[in-house]
Every structure is written in structure tokens, then in C-alpha cells.
Chain A
Amino acid sequence: MQFMLLFSRQGKLRLQKWYVPLSDKEKKKITRELVQTVLARKPKMCSFLEWRDLKIVYKRYASLYFCCAIEDQDNELITLEIIHRYVELLDKYFGSVCELDIIFNFEKAYFILDEFLLGGEVQETSKKNVLKAIEQADLLQE
């Protein structure tokens, strides 16, 4: 996976994670372009689209769009599952997560993502283990 973006229906970026080193300018350009493209799509359209030489996999949960960029050979369906798994994790952690949770605790959202994915690859496939790691790290923080 090359990067993951979360943005609202209004086009506001809520979370971004880049697994490829890019300059800020490039990141901004990509984000703007993708948010526009994805928001312009109708609800019944396919969750996959080709964009530059990458494939974009996105899914909408309530008012948030989760959007990942993968390479040509990657499995689109597993990417959808990754998105879903991440939503589940957020849900478990915050207790029925909503957009505001992510806005106000954006660093937590990042920490959860970092326990789940590393360098764009799935790091831990067990939900339980991810949450356990986060809980323990949080304990340490207090």
C-alpha cells in the first residue's frame, strides 16, 4: 500500500498516512486530486478506480471516506478488508466511532493504524493483539 487517506464528505482531510516518501507539495496535490475524484463518484459505483499508475480502493463509512492507494498487482479485495478491519479497530477502541472521535483524538487514530499496518503492510492480523498493544501503550502513557 502506498498511502491511506481519510476524508469527510465535505472534502476535509481527517487522517493521512504515507508509506512512500513524498514531498509535502506532492502529497497535497495528490490529496486534492483524489478527494475531488472520489467525492464526485456516485454511491453505486465501483469501489476501485485506476488513477495514474496506481489503483485506488475506497469505501465510505457514514460521513467518512477511507481511501487507499495500491499497486497494480495488489489485491483490491484484501485492501477493502484492511479498510474494514481498521474501521472495526477504531470502533472497538472508541466504542462506536464517529467522525468527531477521529478529529479530536487524531493521534490515537494514528497509533491504532500504526499497530495494524507498518510500512504499508499488514502487521498484525489479529484484532485482539492490536487492541492489546494499544491498551498497554496507553497505560504506559498515563
Chain B
Amino acid sequence: MALKMVKGSIDRMFDKNLQDLVRGIRNHKEDEAKYISQCIDEIKQELKQDNIAVKANAVCKLTYLQMLGYDISWAAFNIIEVMSASKFTFKRIGYLAASQCFHEGTDVIMLTTNQIRKDLSSPNQYDTGVALTGLSCFVTPDLARDLANDIMTLMSHTKPYIRKKAVLIMYKVFLKYPESLRPAFPRLKEKLEDPDPGVQSAAVNVICELARRNPKNYLSLAPLFFKLMTSSTNNWVLIKIIKLFGALTPLEPRLGKKLIEPLTNLIHSTSAMSLLYECVNTVIPILKSPVLARNNTVFLYVEKLYFVFFPPTVKYLGLLAMSKILKTHPKSVQSHKDLILQCLDDKDESIRLRALDLLYGMVSKKNLMEIVKKLMIHVDKAEGTTYRDELLTKIIDICSQSNYQYITNFEWYISILVELTRLEGTRHGHLIAAQMLDVAIRVKAIRKFAVSQMAMLLDNAHLIASNTQRNGICEVLYAAAWICGEFSDHLEESNQTLEAMLRPKVTTLPGHIQAVYVQNMVKLYASILQQKEQAGEKEAAQEITQLMIDRLPQFVQSADLEVQERASCILQLIKYIQKLQIKEVPVAEEVIALFAGELNPVAPKAQKKVPVPEGLDLDAWINEPPSDSESEDEKPRTIFHDEEQRHSRHRQPEIDEEELARRREVRKQEQANNPFYIKSSPSPQKQYQDTPGVEHIPVVQIDLSVPLKVPGMPMSDQYVKLEEERRHKQKLEKDKKKKKQKKEKKGKHRRHNSLHTESDEDIAPAQHVDIITEEMPENALPSDEDDKDPNDPYKALDIDLDKPLADSEKLPVQRHRNAENLKSPDTEAPLVGKKSKKPKKKEKKHKEKEREKEKKKEREKKVTEEGKKVVCVLSATYDIQGNLQNDSQVTVSVIFENKSTSFLKSMELNVLDSLNAKMLRPEGSSVHDGIPVPFQLPPGISNEAQFVFTLQSIVMAQKLKGTLSFIVKNDNGSTHEKLDFKLHFSCASYLITTPCYSDAFAKLLESGDLHMSSIKVDGISISFQHLLAKICFYHHFSVVERVDSCASMYSRSIQGHHVCLLVKKGENSVSVDGKCNDSTLLSNLLDEMKETLSKC
């Protein structure tokens, strides 16, 4: 017994396993930290041993400790050691530890590259699996770049277990190394049709995630996904596909129409809530398109469904979905207003906030007052400042949305704002202040009322500013003071207000508010002065001056510099005025002239939209950066001198971005150091005060049924009642009119009239409010580029996947293990299929290598390398694509690559036109003129140029001869070189891959105006799948339907010929039956196809 105990403790001392550690921690609840630090010391000892089993055990324990929050980054190297253990048991632990604690900042991570590569190619699938799993957690851009090719190889592994992991991890790789997306995409797409459902769903997952971020690049996959959707029964996969369609439908309305039926079926049939939810979410936006607006049955059904989502645990989803419906069908949500208002009482903040969002979208002219009233009640009840602040901002948002569209009575709004100032401890005083200012400035008719309210606020300033904790709200005094000052002519009790502003208490306010006070009391003073002078009350005028002189010194003593400066300035001014007054000189006119002119609101983007005058280059130097010795007074001359030169000079587009950025930086620094530089120009508002239009807007008198002055603090509630009465009256009047009309036009419009309900448009606003639109500079630029977040990680994946792969885009391959895997034919599986690629080489020495279309990329690469030895100067590859806009044009894109060490310039491409095909040349040039390539090529650089060709007839293939002339410039001088080449326009290049649905396809075949022809090719060994892929890729077809070893395919020519194919595979042969509007085109196409197939 005793021996056993001793043995146990020895064991534990030397080899404490995870269970022991966990047990130990649980037994040392009081001194956990101490116990753990002891354990960590033990672990450090264990890590020093050579035995890998001991090390693995130690790492395992560390992983547990890491979860408890202990730092284990010091053991990163040991983790790598355990990762590289040969035994799976240890390797597994090593990778787990790595996946838990490695991140991009871990510096040893780059040591793992080779180990991971080794594990990825391990014969044991679980080794590979564990490496992939680990990698998914800590992949860095470097790892992604180095391992992308290995992982891509694994995507075609024989074991589905590996394939699916490899496919999934590719998403992480794409995110870290966006360049890998294009080369890997064809294979990824292939995996959508993998026989293993797990791999298939992994591929769906990855493509959906990719497509959600950049849907437009994946539109061409829609037919494929549609097929998957109708055939799949796996809910997990279905949800992903439907989500993908949700992203695609906004881009392709026809897709939405197609989707409605299957989605509705799913909604009706599925029992899985998650799938239902996804379907509904996708259906709702589709329903908004006008074509489908009539399809209200679906919609009603959808709406009912939402009650499924209103039990408390999923209420959140209900609200979320409501907000989606709201965007398209606002009316139906409005009927649930009460339900949503109830949610404002929910304990759950997420729910309350969602409900607020919904309310924001639900308001209309009719219900705004009611909703805001309810919200105001909540504001009073709300606990916790965060939620209350949220409510406050929402109220303001709701009211001010789309340019105060829903506000019919601005007096009501001002009283709401004033009521909000009574909120305790809000941080949003400045928001309320901004609204007050905005409304007062932009709604002319309301100024009188606003001023009276603001005067009251100023009078009660002690209430607002009394509590130091509430200083957030004293921002409103800023607005109040400004409004009273600026619109002082509307003020009735100016004297009283002025006195309120001169109270000693004011000096306790924050500096910037005092400054506004000081400035605006002068405006006020000026207007009082004018009143008194006009009334001939000289003594009263002098009294008011005396009051100012008495009270202003308290501001002169202010610690705030701004206040001090303004106050002393103004004090002197008023003292001067006093002197004049004593001499009985009328001064009011002159004083008032100080503040003449009216402020107009300026749009926030106005400054940005001022167009740059022609000939002005904002980025060019006005004068060259001064050299150190240059003295300051020399500068002006240089400016003029330089400017004269600039007039004749044009903008230089050649300056590249980097250079510009550098210059900008330099300039900014210079400006910052220059005390004479005026930073951020003042808004150009004064400039526009004479703009015609604003002055002429008729300002209609305020409806007198509303009392102008509300005694005491205003109550917004009374407006609600008044408003109701007013609307009622209006309605009655309108009804009367209607009845009259009815009598006049008896019968004619009966239906229309009887259907009349009070709609939004019927409510006329109480005041005729002219919301002055914000000023914009004349001829402002219309462009409204939204500022996208440049840091969005998904933006990098916005890559056009339809373009053919260029040589430079290959994934980096480890030299020594290179190639063999890549040579499998799948590598060059079809890209998305729109364009084909027919590489062709032109080499110096007029040795032209006409290359066949089917060349594998690998081979092409080899040739390129050979070419280098033969002093290849220039290589060019081209591809031809039909022009969708013009039925007789094709575009030939040529990628030129300079393979020499010399500089290539003055490249010019010329083609000998045939009767049928002509190169499109700029107007005025003859058929013998070449077209210059619009760039030069420094060594090692490639670039793409496009040339447009017009074709008369497209039923036959064409060959055009041409030459490319260019100048090679190197140290030894320059030589003129010429290259001859041939452009081969195959019939397939006139075809445009067009997806076709099977029903349309069947109709086409039935129509009977198609010619028929067929071919048969023997000795085909490749798989049918692969064969179809080839036809899609090289001949621009798309698969309509596939049943076993038989498939129908479709394509369309640029001139609108339909081409239908039926491809059947026998034992060793393939037969292709074709139907087409044009028999010549068809037979040529089939010939080309025969050639392709016979090479298989």
C-alpha cells in the first residue's frame, strides 16, 4: 500500500498527464495560480527532455493551460517539435496546440512551412487531415503563398476525406493570398460536381462565401447552382446555395423570377426552420421587382410565416425579417406597429434596438407624431444611459430622415427637441443642438417660433447648466444662443434675452459656448439698438449700451482665450459706440451692418464637388520646393514665373500614383510647418448669399390656429392633438370637394372615389415649409463615389474569374517537387467558359510557331524557357472573343511580354484585311496603316492590348496575316524589328457561352427551322465529364442537361445563330449531333470540334 503510494507520487512527479493536471487544478481551488506556476515549471523541465512522448504530454498540458488564460507563446518552438513527430498521436497534439496559440504574429510560424508540406503529402490521410485542420487556423499570407499549390493538388486527392478539407481550406488561402484564386478556381468549380457529397458541399460552401462578397464575378455559375439546388436534399447545402442566390439576384432580375417557384415550394414543404428562414430572406428582396409585384400570394404567405418567428427565443429573427420586408413592402409591416412598439419594452437590448430600427423605417407623415410620442414615453422610462441615448439618437434620426420628409409640423419638432433637453446625463447634447440649428436655418417659416423657444431655453439656462454632470446637454445653449442672435429680429423680448445672456452664471459654461454667447449678444444688441433708435428712445438705447459695458468685463476676464479675445474686442467696440451715442450720432445702421447678410446651408460635400477648372493641376508644384539656401523674399517672383509657363503646359498624366502620393505628403508637411498657410478653407457660404432662387421662395404665413407662444416649457403633446384636429378639418374639406366632384362627374370615376382613403400624400403640412435645399457649387460634379473601406479583406478577392489565365498567374511551385501532379489534364480544366485561349508565339528570327489550341500550360511554359535560349525578344498570346454589343465585331486581346533585357517601344500591329474580316482602324487612316500599341515594354514586363475586328460573315473560319513592328532599344543602340504572324479566327470564337434552360432548349428544337448535321469520332479515352468540359472550354458551349453519358449543349453566335448539340458517348467513340440556323456554320463548327476531339 505504502509502496503503491510512493510509486504513484513518483510517477506523478515525473510524468503528470493531462488528467492529473486537471484534477490538480480542481483540488487547488484556493491557490490555483501558485499550483499552475508550479506546473508550468514542471512542464519546462519536461520540454527539455529528448523523449518526444514526454514533450507531447507537456504540450498537451500547455494547451489546456492556454485555455485557462496562461501565456504559452514561449513554447512555440516546442510545439513545432511535437508537430514534426512521426507518430500520429503526437503530431495531432502538436497541431492542436499550434492551432490554438499560433497567430500571424508568431515568428516561428515560417519554420513550419516545410513540415506542413511534408505532412500534406503524407501517405497517411489522417496526417494530411490534421495538417490541413491546423493550417486552417493559423494560415498566414506567407504560408498561403508557399502552400497554395500543394493544397490545390490535394483538391484532387483520391480520398474524399482529404478533398473536402483541401477545398474548404482554399477559402482561407484565397483570403490570405488573393492571387491564388484565379488559378485554383477551375478546379474548385469542378468540385461542385464531385461524386462525394461531402466534397460537393465543401465546394458549395467556399464558392458561396466567395460569391457573397463579390457576387458579380460568379453570375455565370448561376445555372449550375440552380441545378444543384433542385437536385440537392441536404439542408446544409441548400441553405448555402440559397444564400448565394440571395447575393446574385440583385444583379440578375431574371434569376429571381426563375427562383420564385422552387423557393416557394421549399417554403411550403420544408420542416427545417433554418432553411425556411433562409428561403424567406431570399424571396423577400426578389418580390420587390416590379415584374413580380403581383405575386402577392407568396408575400402574404411569407408574412404569416413570421409569426413562427415570434416566440421569445427567436423573436429577434422575426424583427430582423420584418426589417427586410419593410424595405419592399412597408405597408404590411406598418400594420404590426403595436407589436413592434411592445418590443421596446423587452428586456433584451438587441431586440429593443432592432425594434427601434424597424420604427425608423416605418414612419410616415401620418404616424410620425404618434410613434415619436411613444418613444418619448420610453425615453422617460428607460433605465441606463446607453439605451436612453440610443433612443434619443433614434428619435432624431427618425424625424430628420430624408431631409425631414415626414415632418408636417416643425413647431412640434422644435418642442420635441426642447423636451429632449430635459434628459439627464445624455451625451448627445451636440446632436440636439445641431438639429436645432439645422431646422432654424433651413426652415424659414419656423424661425420665429424657434427663436421664442430658444429665448426660453436661454432664460432657463440655469436648469440645464446647473448640474455639472449634465454638461453634455449644455451644448444646446450653444444652439440657443446662436439662433437668438442670428435671428434676433424675430425676438419679442430682446431685452430680457440679452439680460439672460449676460448673467454671471454664464461664465461657468464651457469656453466654446461662452464664445458663442459673446458673439451673439452683440448681434442681439445691434438689433435692440436699431429698434430703440427707430422708436426714438435714445435713453433706452444708451441704457442698453451701459448694460453691455457693465457686464462684458466678466467675459474679458475669462480664462478661455477665445472668449477673452472676443469680449475685449467687443467691449472696445461698444465703448466707442457709447462715445458716439453721447454725441447723439445715430449708430444703429452701422452696427447692424456688421452682421448683414444671411447664412445659407451648404451641403456637406459641396467643397469636394467644386469642379477643378480646366488647366488647373492641383497636384503640380506651384513653385519648386525651395532649396535650403534660397531666401524667403525671392519666392514671389518664382511663382509668377512658373505660372506663366504652366498656362501652355498640359496636365501630365504620366505622373504615377506613387510619385503623387509622395508629393502630397511633402506638401502637407510643408503646409503644416508654414504659419501663413490657411488650413482648411472656410465654407464658401457667404459667396452664395445672392444666389437667385432662395430669396424668391414664397414663405407662406404660419397657420394661426397654432398658438405661437406656448407659456412655460413647451409640450409637444398638444401638437399631436392640434394636428389631429387640423387633419380632420382638412379631410372634411377635401371630402366635401370630392362629393362636389362626384356630383359633377357622376358615375365616371365612381370607383376611384369610393376607394379613397387617407394616404400620406393627402396630409398637407401645417406650415408651408420651404426646406431650403443645401447649397452646392455651380456645375458641381455629379459623381457620387461612395467611399469604400479600403481595408475590407474581401475586396482583394474581387477578381474577374472569366478572364483566361495568364502565365504570370501560376501558383508558385516548389522547384524540386514541381510538375508531375500538375501535368494531369484537369489542370487546364475549363475556366468559366466564356473565352477561349489560343496561345501562339512569335519569336524573333521570323520563326513562327503556330501553336495549337489544346496546348497545356505546362508545355507552353517549357517552350517559353526554350525560347529564352534562342534570344527570344517578345512573346505574345492572344485570345478572341465575340462582342456582345455588336453582332459583327470580335475583340482580339493580345498579351505582349518582353522577354529580353532591352526596352521595346513603338510597337505597331498591322493586319492584311480580307474581304470578310477587317481590323477596325481609327477614322481617317488607310487600310495599310497599322495600329500603334498604346504602351512601351520595359524588360520583363507584359501588358495587354485590344484590337477590334469587324466581320461580314461568321459562318466560316478565317485566317489573317499580319506583322508587328517594333524598336528594340538597348545599350548598343536601337534596331528595328519585325514579326510576321497569323491570326486564326475559328468559328468557335464567334460563339458566346450562353446558358440555356432545358425548357427553352426543347422549344428551340421543336421549332424546326434548324439545319442538322452530325459527326462521329473514335478512339476517345477521356472521361465524358472531361470531354464535355473541353467542348465547353474550347468551343464556348454550355451544358443544358446531362443524363448518364449523353448531354445536350447550347451556344449562341454573336449574330444570334442558335447552336444546339447532342453529345453521346459510346464505348470508345463520341457522336455529336448538331442543329443550327445556318448549315455552313454548323458544319464548320463540327469540323473544328472533330479536330479537338480527335486529339483526346
Residues of A within 8 A of B272 (CB): 81
A33 beta carbon closer than 8 Å to chain B: no
Contact of A123 among B88, B126, B165 (CB under 8 A): B165
Complex contact B169–A125 (CB within 8 A) = no
- A-chain residues with CB within 8 Å of residue B133 when the two chains form the complex: 114, 118
Q: Number of contacting residues on B, CB 8 A?
A: 70
* In contact, B103 and A19 (Cβ under 8 angstroms): no
Would you call B82 an interface residue if the criterion is a C-beta within 8 Å of the partner chain's C-beta atoms?
no
Q: Encode contact with B along A101-117: 1 for CB under 8 Å, 0 otherwise.
A: 00110110011001000
Question: B921 contacts the other chain (Cβ, under 8 Å)?
Answer: no
B798 located at the interface, meaning its Cβ lies under 8 Å from any Cβ of chain A in the complex: no
Most chain B CB atoms below 10 A, which of A17, A41, A77, A81: A77
- Which partner residue on chain A sits nearest B277 by CB separation? A77
B313 contacts which of A18, A44, A111, A124 (Cβ < 8 Å)? A44
* B437 at the A interface (CB under 8 A): no
Is residue A97 within 8 Å, beta carbon to beta carbon, of the partner chain?
no
Does B347 reach chain A (CB closer than 8 Å)? yes
Asked if A78 is at the interface of the complex by the 8 Å CB criterion, the answer is: yes
A62 part of interface (Cβ distance < 8 Å): no
Among B93, B236, B347, the residue within 8 A (CB) of A107 is B93
Q: How far is the CB of B341 from chain A (nearest CB, A)?
A: 18
CB distance from A131 to the nearest CB of B (A): 13
Cross-chain contact B169 with A46 (CB below 8 angstroms): no
Closest chain B CB from A110 CB (angstroms):
6
> Are A104 and B313 in contact, CB atoms less than 8 angstroms apart?
no
Contacts of B273 in A (CB 8 A): 77
Report A-chain residues with C-beta under 8 Å of the C-beta of B130.
137
Min distance, Cβ A76 to any Cβ of chain B, angstroms = 6
Given A13-B68, A24-B71, A46-B348; A123-B234 close (CB under 8 Å): no
Say whether B103 contacts A21, CB under 8 Å.
yes
User: In residues 133-165 of chain B, which contact A (Cβ within 8 Å)?
Assistant: 133, 136-138, 140, 161, 164-165
Given known contacts A81-B274, A106-B64, A107-B60, is B168 in contact with A119 (CB within 8 Å)? yes
A107 to B82, CA, bound (A): 15
- Once the chains bind, are B169 and A119 in contact (CB under 8 Å)? yes
A63 contacts B by Cβ under 8 Å = no
Nearest chain-B residue to A121 (Cβ)?
A: B205
Whether B453 sits at the interface, judged by CB under 8 Å, is: no
Residue B290, interface by CB 8 Å? no
Per the bound structure, the CA–CA distance linking A114 and B348 in Å amounts to: 33
Contact B198 A125 (CB under 8 A): yes
User: Given the known A-B contacts A28-B69, A77-B273, A140-B126, are A119 and B317 also in contact in the complex, defined by CB atoms under 8 Å?
Assistant: no
The answer to whether B315 has its CB under 8 Å from any CB of chain A is: yes
A107 to B93, CA, bound (A): 8
Chain B residues with Cβ below 8 Å from A47 are: 313-314
Q: How far is the CB of B827 from chain A (nearest CB, A)?
A: 24
What's the Cα separation between A17 and B138 when bound, in Å? Answer: 12
A50 & B138 in contact (Cβ 8 Å cutoff) = no
| Residue ID in chain A nearest B133 by CB atoms | A114
In the bound complex, residues from chain B placing their C-beta under 8 Å from that of A48 are 314, 316-317, 350
With A24-B73, A125-B198: A119-B236 Cβ-Cβ less than 8 Å: no
CB distance from B161 to the nearest CB of A (A): 6
Residues 987-1014 of B, flagged 1 when their CB comes within 8 A of A and 0 if not, give 0000000000000000000000000000
Q: Which residues of B contact A119 (CB under 8 A)?
A: 136-137, 168-169, 171-172
Q: Is A80 engaged at the interface, CB distance under 8 Å to the other chain? A: yes
Q: Which residues of B contact A76 (CB under 8 A)?
A: 277, 316-317
**Residue of A42, A118, A137, A140 touching B169 (CB-CB under 8 A):** A118
B67 touching A16, Cβ below 8 Å: yes
Minimum C-beta distance from B233 to chain A (A): 11
| CB atoms of B89 and A46 under 8 A apart | no
Dominant secondary structure of chain A at its interface with chain B: mixed
Contact among B18, B64, B104, B317 for A21, CB-based, below 8 A: B104
List, in ascending order, chain A residues with CB within 8 A of B277's CB: 75-77
CB-CB under 8 A from A19, the residues of chain B are 136-137
- When C-beta atoms are compared, the residue in chain A nearest to B354 turns out to be A50
Q: Mark A15-30, 1 if CB is under 8 A from B, else 0.
A: 1111101111000100
Is residue B96 contacting chain A, with contact meaning CB distance below 8 A?
A: yes
What residues of A have a CB within 8 angstroms of the CB of B206 in the complex? 121
Q: Are B136 and A75 in contact (CB under 8 A)?
A: no
A23 touches B237 (CB 8 A): no
Q: Per-residue CB proximity of B88-124 to A under 8 Å, as 1/0?
A: 1100110010011101110000000000000000001
Say if the beta carbon of B312 comes within 8 Å of chain A.
yes
In whole angstroms, how far apart are the Cα atoms of A124 and B69 in the complex?
A: 30
Query: At the interface, yes or no: B202 with Cβ under 8 Å from chain A?
Result: yes
A103-B168 contact given A75-B278, A77-B317, A80-B274, CB 8 Å threshold:
no
A16-B66 Cα distance, complex, nearest whole Å:
10
The reply to whether A24 and B171 form a contact with Cβ atoms under 8 Å apart is no
Q: With an 8 A cutoff between CB atoms, is A133 at the interface?
A: yes
A45 to B: closest C-beta gap in Å? 5
Chain A residue contacts of B165, Cβ below 8 A? 118, 123
A104, B201: Cβ atoms closer than 8 Å: no
A136 close to B126 (CB less than 8 A): yes
Q: Which residues of B contact A (CB under 8 A)?
A: 18-19, 22, 60, 63-64, 67-69, 71, 73, 88-89, 92-93, 96, 99-101, 103-105, 124, 126, 129-130, 132-133, 136-138, 140, 161, 164-165, 168-169, 171-172, 197-198, 201-202, 205-206, 209, 212, 234, 236-237, 239, 243, 272-274, 277-278, 312-317, 347-351, 353-354
In the complex, 24 of the A-B residue pairs with CB atoms within 8 angstroms, ordered by the A residue number, are A13-B67, A14-B67, A17-B137, A19-B137, A22-B103, A24-B71, A44-B313, A46-B350, A47-B313, A48-B317, A49-B348, A50-B354, A73-B243, A75-B278, A104-B18, A107-B60, A107-B96, A110-B96, A114-B96, A118-B169, A119-B169, A126-B197, A136-B126, A137-B129
With A15-B67, A137-B126 given, name 8 new contacts (CB 8 A).
A24-B73, A75-B274, A104-B18, A118-B133, A121-B202, A121-B206, A121-B209, A133-B129
Chain A residues with CB under 8 Å of chain B are 13-19, 21-24, 28, 41-42, 44-50, 73, 75-78, 80-81, 103-104, 106-107, 110-111, 114, 118-119, 121-126, 129, 133, 136-137, 140-141
Of all A-B residue pairs in the complex, the 6 with the closest CB atoms, nearest first, are A77-B274, A119-B136, A78-B274, A49-B350, A141-B89, A21-B103
